[in-house]
């Protein structure tokens, strides 16, 4: 007996297969079902509420005119469920220019199904499930179509794949499209009806398919559409607002994945920060360029995605890291395009003053191949490690650094020069890391002129190493070296802002993949830092504009003195704080600042200043979540720096420490308890003092948007 009044049209363009017959029998018990062929899908006849194409064979094998009939139905506002191999037809149906790059038939040998995105966990198709991993089949032979190396250009990814106990985030299996007035849901997961499934998998299949059909038939508003505007991204951000680990004043993605900051530029009175972004979920894959803007360096707005891989271009597999310059008043970006085993520099120019749209150079890549000398490092993925760009103009010439590595030697920064951004001549390495610890490849090289010294920094898979010295136009002479940050900080990039340089770095997650997928987001950027050189030493300071985030002062210049073994709770706390203080050991072995602490201290992150001149972030009790790292982090703070002046920025899961404006240590921590917000000071083995102890509660850098139908600002 029918359980629903929904009219479902089973699209069968030829003879029914055994799988389609079983699907019809299943649907007859739940919906008002009719079989429809191409001739039934006309503008003159009233159509069903939703058309379901349970497609076992390659769509290209359907009779002539069948795809045209479906395409017309969708254009007219129809609702379409594409199952099994049906998603492979989206280019021919005019739904998306980028179709699945994998299709075929595979045996289901272990429980397989949906790895649903937490951003869309309230979708009606999965509303009845507990958790994001929904296994739909444990047996049978399943036709499938899915995205693997690509993501759809116009569809919103709802789910990837879980197989057994393994998450397969790169195997995109469920996508929603809103072409015109129509709605399409593509499901490449094994929706099998002619198979001997275990009862729990049959129940999961039944609930999912019924929920998907009812959602499509019921109108399926744009709540789950691919974001197309900054406003759409702000709604994404609103869905994740309740996550206590989400940074609120750091520059973070609206959802999904963020890594390197890119294309930093101030233009038209606004700061523009682009970043590596995966719209398909919170994992590193199919990289686009996300975009955020600010007028004051404090409050930010999400913008539409700026760069997207071109299906037939040299950036088909990703638009990776690069930089921005302004040429003849027009911003341009040099970025790494990836395709197959090649990664090469590509150029795009802004098509509007908002920097929301970009025109890619017709003859990309602008450097057709890596240099033949020296012998560059390759890998199973790349013919040569040759990526990431820093470009500047001096004395009428463009200079261009590319990151790479010399085989059996170490990382290197390769120099090109040119009269135009499209014409480059190779000059050779400016510096090669031929010493122990330099790293095999240098990513994200950047060279800045900081007055009395030049600064070159590179990221070597582990650390961000910097070199102070002199660049003579062809090589770099090193006078001093160090680490830009001693913690969770990578791939920084800078922008010129008047007479100063502002720098952001990527703060990667310090928890495992499952935790990132379940959270729905991964990665944030550091607070903006001002870099300069004073007395031959690098100085790093938080951008002074950050003081505008201060909403209220919780402590004002206090001067606590602690005896040996004493711990003093501070009358302040929170998840979004700035702290400023000077610590002196007097005769103590260590002074300890605890942050994100629960009242019973079962959760606490300890910042320890020790007699042997080190600053240590102890994460052993920072989180009760076993998926979070407990590894300690440390950096030297020479005795000459006593007393130790600290500025500490806390934001959800970030701890950024500036020590004497010279050294930085950034940590990611994930306290689980709602009351893990406390602060305290302690002294070990003797007396310690603090001077000028001030604490401020900080505000939100992002506009608050609800998740209602209109996403109204609050």
Whole-angstrom distance, CA of residue 53 vs CA of residue 87: 10
pLDDT in tens, 43-75: 665 689 999 999 998 988 887 788 988 998 898
Q: How far apart are CA 481 and CA 488, in angstroms?
A: 19
Reply yes or no on whether the pLDDT at 713 is more than 60.
no
Question: Which class for 102: exposed (0-12), middle (13-18), buried (19 or more C-beta within 10 A)?
Answer: middle
CA distance 426 to 399: 10
> What's 7-224's CATH class?
alpha beta
Peptide bond connecting 374 to the previous residue in cis, omega within 30 degrees of 0: yes
Among 195, 178, 197, 176, which Cα is nearest to 187's?
176
32-50 tens-digit pLDDT:
999 998 888 876 656 899 9
In terms of Cβ atoms closer than 10 Å to its own Cβ (0-12, 13-18, 19+), residue 421 is: buried
Produce one character per residue of 333-364: b if its CB has 16 or more CB atoms within 10 Å, e if not: bbbbbbbeebbbbbbbebeeeebbebebeeeb
Mean pLDDT in residue range 481-487? 98
The rounded distance, in Å, linking the Cα atoms of 677 and 571 is 11
pLDDT tier at 258, thresholds 50, 70, 90? very high
DSSP state of 131: S
Q: Which region among 19-28, 407-416, 556-565, 696-705 has the lowest average model confidence (pLDDT)?
A: 696-705
Token representation of residue 590: 């260590």
Please give the pLDDT value at position 640.
Answer: 63
Q: What is the pLDDT of residue 489?
A: 98
Residue by residue, what is the 3-state secondary structure of 208-257?
HHHHHHHHHHCCCCHHHCCCCCHHHHHHHHHHCCCCCCCCCCCCCCCCEE
Q: Do domains 7-224 and 230-243+262-542 have the same CATH topology?
A: no
- Enumerate the active-site residues: 260
Q: Which CATH code for domain 230-243+262-542?
A: 2.115.10.20
Q: Where are the domains of the chain?
A: 7-224, 230-243+262-542, 547-698
Minimum mean pLDDT among 160-164, 227-231, 594-598, 685-689: which range? 227-231
User: What phi-psi label fits residue 372: left (phi over 0), alpha (psi between -120 and 50 degrees) or beta?
Assistant: alpha
Report CA 338 to chain centroid distance, whole Å: 18
CATH architecture of structural domain 547-698: Sandwich (2.60)
How far is Cα 334 from Cα 322, in angstroms, rounded to an integer? 5
146-196 residue pLDDT tens: 999 999 999 999 999 999 999 999 999 999 999 988 999 999 999 999 999
Maximum separation of any 2 CA atoms in the chain, in Å: 90
Measure the CA–CA gap between 128 and 130, rounded to whole angstroms. Answer: 7
């Amino acid at each position: 007996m029918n359980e629903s009044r929904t009219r479902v049209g089973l699209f069968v363009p030829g003879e029914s297969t055994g799988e389609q017959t079983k699907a019809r029998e299943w649907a007859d018990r739940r919906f008002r079902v009719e079989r429809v062929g191409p001739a039934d899908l006309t503008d003159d006849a009233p159509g069903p509420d939703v058309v379901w194409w349970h497609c076992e064979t390659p769509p290209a094998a359907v009779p002539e005119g069948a795809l045209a009939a479906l395409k017309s139905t969708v254009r007219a506002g129809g609702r379409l469920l594409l199952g099994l191999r049906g998603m492979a037809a989206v280019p021919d149906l005019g739904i998306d220019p980028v179709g699945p790059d994998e299709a075929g038939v595979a045996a289901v040998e272990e429980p397989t199904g949906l790895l649903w995105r937490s951003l869309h966990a309230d979708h009606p198709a999965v509303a009845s499930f507990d958790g994001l991993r929904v296994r739909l089949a444990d047996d049978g032979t399943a036709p499938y179509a899915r995205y693997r190396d690509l993501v759809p250009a116009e569809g919103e990814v709802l789910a990837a794949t879980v197989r057994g106990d393994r998450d397969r985030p790169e195997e995109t299996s469920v996508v929603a499209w809103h072409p015109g007035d129509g709605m399409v849901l593509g499901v490449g997961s094994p929706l099998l009806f002619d198979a001997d499934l275990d009862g729990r998998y049959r129940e999961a299949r039944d609930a999912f398919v019924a929920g998907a059909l009812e959602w499509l038939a019921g109108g399926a508003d744009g709540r789950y559409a691919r974001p197309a505007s900054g406003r759409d991204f702000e709604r994404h951000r609103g869905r994740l607002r309740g996550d206590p680990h989400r940074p609120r004043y750091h520059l973070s993605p609206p959802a999904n994945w963020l890594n390197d900051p890119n294309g930093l530029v101030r233009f038209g009175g606004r700061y523009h920060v682009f970043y590596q972004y995966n719209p398909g979920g919170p994992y590193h894959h199919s990289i686009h360029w996300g975009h955020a803007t600010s007028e004051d360096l404090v409050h930010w707005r999400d913008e539409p995605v700026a760069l997207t891989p071109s299906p037939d271009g040299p950036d088909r597999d990703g638009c990776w890291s690069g930089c921005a310059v302004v040429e003849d008043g027009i911003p341009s970006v040099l970025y790494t395009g990836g395709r197959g085993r090649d990664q090469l520099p590509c150029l795009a120019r802004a098509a509007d003053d908002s920097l929301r749209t970009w025109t890619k150079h017709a003859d990309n890549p602008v450097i057709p191949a890596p240099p033949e000398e020296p012998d560059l490092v390759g890998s199973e993925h790349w013919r040569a490690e040759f990526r990431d760009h820093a470009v500047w103009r001096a004395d009428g010439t463009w200079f261009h650094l590319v990151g790479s590595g010399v085989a059996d030697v170490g990382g290197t920064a390769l120099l090109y020069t040119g009269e135009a951004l499209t014409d480059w001549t190779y000059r050779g390495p400016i510096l090669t890391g031929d010493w122990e610890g330099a790293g095999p490849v240098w990513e994200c090289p950047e060279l800045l002129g900081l007055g009395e010294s030049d600064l070159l920094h590179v990221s070597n898979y582990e650390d961000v190493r910097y070199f102070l010295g002199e660049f003579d136009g062809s090589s770099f002479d090193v006078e001093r070296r160090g680490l830009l940050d001693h913690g969770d900080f990578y791939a920084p990039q800078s922008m010129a802002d008047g007479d100063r340089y502002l720098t952001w770095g990527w703060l990667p997650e310090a928890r495992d993949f499952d935790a990132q997928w379940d959270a729905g987001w991964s990665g944030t950027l550091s607070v903006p830092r001002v870099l300069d050189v004073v007395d031959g030493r690098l100085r790093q300071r938080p951008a002074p504009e950050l003081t505008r985030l201060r909403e209220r002062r919780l402590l004002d210049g206090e001067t606590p003195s602690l005896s040996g073994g004493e711990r003093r709770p501070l009358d302040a706390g929170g998840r979004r704080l700035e702290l400023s203080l000077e610590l002196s050991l007097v005769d103590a072995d260590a002074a300890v600042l605890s942050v994100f602490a629960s009242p019973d201290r079962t959760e606490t992150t300890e910042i320890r200043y020790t007699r042997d001149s080190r600053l240590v972030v102890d994460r052993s009790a920072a989180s009760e979540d076993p998926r979070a790292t407990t590894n300690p982090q440390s950096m030297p703070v020479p005795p000459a720096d006593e007393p130790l002046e600290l500025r500490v920025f806390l934001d959800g899961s970030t701890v950024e420490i500036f020590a004497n404006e010279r050294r930085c240590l950034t940590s990611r921590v994930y306290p689980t308890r709602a009351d893990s917000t406390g602060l305290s000071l302690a002294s070990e083995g003797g007396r310690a003092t603090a001077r000028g102890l001030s604490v401020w509660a900080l505000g939100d850098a992002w506009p608050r948007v609800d998740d209602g139908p209109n996403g109204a600002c609050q």
